[in-house]
């Protein structure tokens, strides 16, 4: 399991006073500020976050150390991470994407399909990207398709039969 959880991304500058347009990946978008300091993926920079207002497709925010529009523009595309210890505990059957990456994936017959390479969310639900001996497989992250996630054992059981309608 990773010590950092991706909680948001900077989608560009907002205005000319150094604010950024922030896309939050947290269940309560404004809660992203409470997980600060937020780090860049490589850990070389950290930011305190002050949400200023909601904007289309995200939030406007001030990040410590970002004072100009040019600095904010340069941050476009930067993913922001919070320390795992600052994140809330999740209820049963909910997982941080970072917890799923690297887990062994087996089908219901025990055949190894590979490992979770990534978790994608394109708006219609999460999808597990599994990389294995037969290449890449995309699996919807639903209770039917993924009946078992065992973080302790480091594995995921998937059911590749068709979902009932």
- Would you kindly state where each structural domain of the chain is located, as residue ranges? 4-86, 97-158
The reported pLDDT for the residue numbered 163 is 62
- Side-chain-side CA neighbours of 156 within 13 Å: the count stands at 28
**DSSP code of residue 27:** S
The reported pLDDT for the residue numbered 1 is 44
User: What is the pLDDT tens value at each position of the chain, 165 positions in all?
Assistant: 458 888 999 999 999 999 999 999 888 899 999 999 999 999 899 999 999 999 988 999 999 999 999 999 999 999 999 998 888 888 777 888 888 999 999 999 999 999 999 988 777 788 999 999 889 999 999 989 999 999 889 999 999 887 655
The reported pLDDT for the residue numbered 165 is 59
Instruction: Indicate the class that CATH gives domain 4-86.
Output: mainly beta
Beta bridge partners of 55: 58
Handedness of CA 84, 92, 101, 25 (dihedral sign): negative
Gyration radius of the chain over CA positions = 18
Q: Which two structure tokens, joined as six digits, stand for 75? A: 């941050």
| Inter-residue contact 44 to 65 (CB < 8 Å) | no
Pick the CATH number of 97-158 from 2.40.50.140, 3.30.70.1290, 3.40.50.720, 2.30.30.240: 2.30.30.240
The reported pLDDT for the residue numbered 164 is 59
Assessment of whether the complete model's pTM goes beyond 0.85: no
Count helices and strands in the chain by DSSP H and E runs: 2, 13
Domain 4-86 shares a fold with domain 97-158? no
């Amino acid at each position: 399991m990773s010590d950092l959880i991706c909680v948001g991304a900077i989608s560009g500058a907002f205005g000319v006073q150094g604010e950024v347009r922030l896309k939050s990946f947290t269940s309560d978008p404004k809660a992203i500020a409470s997980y600060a300091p937020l780090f860049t993926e490589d850990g070389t920079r950290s930011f305190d976050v002050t949400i200023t207002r909601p904007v289309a497709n995200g939030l406007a925010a001030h990040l410590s150390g970002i004072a100009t529009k040019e600095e904010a523009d340069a941050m476009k595309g930067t993913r922001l991470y919070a320390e795992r210890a600052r994140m809330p505990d999740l209820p049963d059957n909910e997982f941080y994407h970072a917890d799923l990456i690297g887990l062994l994936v087996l089908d219901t017959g025990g055949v190894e399909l590979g490992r979770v390479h990534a978790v994608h969310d394109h708006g219609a639900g999460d999808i597990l990207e599994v990389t294995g001996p037969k290449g890449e497989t995309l699996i919807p992250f639903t209770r039917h398709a993924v009946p078992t996630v065992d973080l302790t054992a480091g594995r995921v059981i998937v059911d590749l039969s068709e979902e009932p309608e």
